Structure 1
Amino acid sequence: MRNNRTKRALRDAGQGYLFMSPTLFVLLTFIIGPIIYAIFLSFHKVQLLGGTSYDFVGLENFARLFDDDRARIALWNTAKYVAIVVPTQTFLALVIAATLNAGLKGEKFFRIVYFLPTLTSSAVLTLIFMWMYNQNGLINHFLELIGLPTYNWLADPSVALNAIMIMNIWSTAPFFMVIYLAALQGINESIYEAADLDGANAIQKFFHITVPSLRPVTSFVVIMGLIGTFQLFDQSYIFSGGSGGPNNSTLTVVLLIYQYAFKNLGTMGYAAALAFALAIIILLATLLQRKFSKEEEA
């Protein structure tokens, strides 16, 4: 009897793995495999052109990170970008969602309008904003019209990264707005009615009822924002033509990884070490965010 049960269990397990095999194959080939290969490359000096060669260098690639001035610049630019964009887009998404959830006239129309930037390709959106940021573009014309100073958005190192920040906040906040809108539907209306009886105004209800009730959702939004912003590449690449300029002001860690991997000979291993270090930074940032969000207590 026991042998029959064992055979039946093995047969059921075999059938399960058989049905899972396409998914397992994709995971191993396109996710787990490349991760393991990247870790392998990070400990080697790799030459891919003119004959592939792997020379083991141990931790040399990681030690080089501390002496690379461009790596420090890229990390600083990325950290500044994350520190500004993530809180701003999260707060903006929450405010817009709460406003749309208040039952205002034309609510459905504004939901569609606000969500439109999310549907636009990132590359196309970047090209549109480059046209708007042009020296004689729409934004400078508007600033000039209302009497404010104009900027050389694309060529001034002091404002180039800020231009990318503005574009990304505008384009990503609507996506998180939809998440908040769905979460707002789950808040019990009786809580707001009780607050009305106590004489609470709209701002008090927002900060003392809405924000605490959405704490787990905010934790998810912030984590997704952290992962996305740390991986900034395409906008920076298009804005600067792949150089990270002007004067390395738009150079990000992922763009630097791309440059070392595909533009410089013999630095593929160092690029893999940079990618591995970035993955560790993202993991640590995510764990810290979860710790300080007090999600478990909520």
Structure 2
Amino acid sequence: MAPALFVLSIFVILPILYAVFLSFHKVQLLGGIEYEFIGLRNFARLRSDERVWIALKNTIEYVAIVVPAQTILALVMAVTLNSGIRGRNLWRILYFLPTVTSSAVLTLIFMWIYNTNGLLNDFLGFLGLPTYNWLGDPAVALRSIMIMNIWSTAPFFMVIYLAALQGIPRSVYEAAELDGANGWQQFIRITVPLLKPVTFFVVAMGIIGTFQLFDQSYIFSGGTGGPNNATLTVVLLIYQAVFRTLQMGYGAAIAFSLAALIILLTLIQRRWFGGEID
């Protein structure tokens, strides 16, 4: 175990401990690294920083919409593929392609689609529907990222659901059919309850992943979180604090506050939804 523990210590444990150290200090980088102990002032500053609350609001809105949407979509796709449709191996490949594609590449493709003269507005105009400035309008910029990420992340969770569905004995459904249960009743009373542990895992992973939204927001806005802070997320704010304004201590404080929030939400979710199968 020594090699694995050594790698874990160098690349995980020591950076975390160093980040804890930074969160209690003001760091001077120019002219030599200097540390000034300031206690909890970095954490206290979070309350009065307007951009922190904007980033937190955007992130929570993103999580609240993307996690349920990608979970439901993943379950629907998994049930469809598990129903024995023709060519399901081909559909599995097509569904899973977005997951194995680079996030940066997908973002650039969607930026082309979202362009004011891009494919999406051309399609909406063809249907006689209103078009939008998907990248420049603060009202829809974050929704643009939501749509892209729901489409690209749902296939990963679909595979997890599909594996769980294939582990449910067929005899359970046959017994329900003998009792007169139709397809919808089987889904609600058999499939959904038996998938409860898997759903907990999918939702937990979804919450952790969505709270860490960074690359799409960075590429869409050029690192600014625009337009008008509409795509500013907590992780992007951490990046700006550390790499643009060189406030490493403040960035570490934001990071640990985000980690505490994710842990709290995961514990609440486990308390309410992570129990045994009913």
TM-score, with length taken from structure 1: 0.92
CA apart distance, 1:297: 5.2
Say which of 43, 59, 68 aligns to 2:49. 68
Say which of 152, 165, 170 aligns to 2:133. 152
Q: In the alignment, which residue of structure 1 is the partner of 2:94?
A: 113
2: CA distance, partners of 1:296 / 1:53: 51
Q: In the alignment, which residue of structure 1 is the partner of 2:24?
A: 43
Q: Secondary structure at the match of 2:35?
A: strand
In the TM superposition, 1:82-97 aligns within 5 A as: 82-97=63-78
Amino acid at match of 2:275: E
CA apart distance, 1:296: 3.3
2: CA distance, partners of 1:140 / 1:195: 47
2: CA distance, partners of 1:53 / 1:234: 30
CA apart distance, 1:201: 2.1
2: CA distance, partners of 1:252 / 1:294: 28
Structure 1 vs Structure 2: percent identity of aligned residues?
71
Asked whether 1:134 is paired with 2:125, we answer no
* TM-superposition CA deviations, 1:135-187 (whole Å, max 9, x none): 01011111111121111000000000000000000000000000011001111
1: CA distance, partners of 2:276 / 2:15: 33
2: CA distance, partners of 1:263 / 1:198: 65
Asked whether 1:180 is paired with 2:161, we answer yes
Q: In the alignment, which residue of structure 2 is the partner of 1:274?
A: 254
Say which of 203, 207, 211 aligns to 2:192. 211
In the TM superposition, 1:217-296 aligns within 5 A as: 217-265=198-246, 267-296=247-276
Gaps spanning 5+ residues in structure 1: where?
Answer: 1-19
What is the RMSD of the two structures over their aligned residues, measured on CA atoms?
0.9
Amino acid at match of 2:190: I
Assess if the C-alpha contact under 8 Å between 2:196 and 2:277 holds in 1: no
Say which of 101, 105, 119 aligns to 1:124. 105
Gaps spanning 5+ residues in structure 2: where?
Answer: none
1: CA distance, partners of 2:115 / 2:183: 40
TM-score, with length taken from structure 2: 0.98
1: CA distance, partners of 2:132 / 2:138: 11
Q: In the alignment, which residue of structure 2 is the partner of 1:80?
A: 61
Q: In the alignment, which residue of structure 1 is the partner of 2:144?
A: 163
* TM-superposition CA deviations, 1:196-251 (whole Å, max 9, x none): 22322222211111111000001111111111000000000000000000000000
Q: Secondary structure at the match of 1:103?
A: coil
How many residue pairs get aligned? The number is 278
Q: In the alignment, which residue of structure 1 is the partner of 2:84?
A: 103
Amino acid at match of 1:258: Y
* TM-superposition CA deviations, 1:23-54 (whole Å, max 9, x none): 11111110000000001000000112221110
* TM-superposition CA deviations, 1:52-97 (whole Å, max 9, x none): 1100000000000000000000000000001110111011101110
2: CA distance, partners of 1:143 / 1:54: 55
Q: Which runs of 4+ in 1 moved over 4 A?
A: none
Query: Over alpha carbons, which structure has the higher Rg?
Result: 1
2: CA distance, partners of 1:93 / 1:40: 40
2: CA distance, partners of 1:78 / 1:22: 37
Amino acid at match of 2:243: F
Assess if the C-alpha contact under 8 Å between 2:194 and 2:277 holds in 1: no
In the TM superposition, 1:12-31 aligns within 5 A as: 20-31=1-12
